[in-house]
Amino acid sequence: MFSIDLLSNALVAGLLLGGFYAAVALGLSIVFGQLDIVNIAHPAFVILGSYVVYMTNTALGWDPVLAGVLFTPLFFALGVAVYRIYYAGFERTGRESLAGLAFFFGIMFILEVVIILIYGVDYRLVEAAYIGQTLRIGIIDLPYRMLVPFITAMAMTGGIAFYLSRTFTGRAILAVSQDRLALELMGANPIRIKSLAFGIGLATAAVAGALLIIIGPVEPSFGRLYIGRVFAIVILGGMGSIKGTLLAALLIGVSESFVQTFVGPSWADAVAFSVLLLTLVVRPQGLYGRL
């Protein structure tokens, strides 16, 4: 059973999955990695993204990827609003640790329940011409429902990496959590920068949500499993390094794929969490540790 065929397909499937994970973790990489805001509700926002994409797909027949992209401004605005509340209620008063955590924990829960109230607990899926088709190269299977998310995720990750390293605002986002005051001394307003960054973080959730529902059917509590994955990826990736995030995502994707293929699907969910626990205990600075 340990054939080349199986091995290479598991590897490719893992890479495709990992690429998609990068899209899910990207927003958290900015929000948690750069801003030190523990948005534990990030996966819940991704699920919200899945459902708005589902809505436009069934009602208007929009392509899921396109819908995800079109919803980014709305999610951006939502992100700015959430950050403003968080800032006013917690960050400014210095209560971010315990109370801030509970705040996002509550938001996660509310999002999940609101979706259940509207759509119920059943699995939902989207339709597009390419879903269900598979590209075959030699012995390698490349199902489009994985390939499209992978390509979109790579494009988005590349775009964000470019934005962060090549624009003034992007660099300011990278700098804001390293030294807030120093950034202010450069003439930037840290609160504005953080609002922007949080907005961008949530905007990526709209696209990630679209990708999630292309890969397979989604139900409201799906986000919980992703909490471990995204935090494992961000922490393993070295808190906010985009390169690290991508690498960690691919690593987790491949590990899960291998465990799924060679050990059993029921163990796959624990992979990310085990990696997370190990990383936290053994090497908290991750692969690409921030200084």
Q: Which residues bind another protein (CB under 8 A)?
A: 38, 40, 85, 89-90, 95, 97-99, 101-103, 105-107, 109-110, 112-114, 116-117, 165, 168, 171-172, 174-175, 178-179, 181-189, 221, 224-225, 227-228, 231-232, 235, 264, 266-267, 269-270, 273-274, 276-277, 280-281, 284, 290-291
Six-digit token string for 243: 């390169």
The label of the residue with tokens 């401004």 reads: 73
**What minimum distance in Å lies between the beta carbon of 37 and another protein?**
10
- Taking the least distance from each CB to another protein, the nearer of 154 and 175 is 175
Q: How far is the CB of 33 from another protein (least distance, A)?
A: 11
- Nearest to another protein of 77, 99 (CB atom): 99
Q: For another protein, which is the closer residue by CB, 67 or 172?
A: 172
H helices of the chain, in order, are 4-28, 42-60, 64-70, 72-86, 101-119, 144-166, 168-176, 180-185, 190-215, 223-236, 242-262, 265-282
> 73-90 burial, b for 16+ CB within 10 Å, e for fewer?
eebbebbbebbeebbeeb
End-to-end Cα, the chain, rounded Å: 45
Shortest Å distance, C-beta 40 to another protein:
8
- Cα 20 to Cα 27: distance, rounded to the nearest angstrom: 13
Question: Which is closer to another protein, CB of 120 or CB of 132?
Answer: 120
- Minimum distance of another protein from residue 51's CB (angstroms): 15
Task: Give the nearest distance from C-beta 277 to another protein in angstroms.
Answer: 5
Distance in Å, CB of 102 to another protein, minimum: 5
Are 214 and 98 in contact by the 8 Å Cβ rule? The answer is no
State which H helix or E strand residue 39 sits in: none
Length of the chain: 291
Which of 9/274 has CB closer to another protein? 274
Q: Which is nearer to another protein, 114 or 161 (CB)?
A: 114
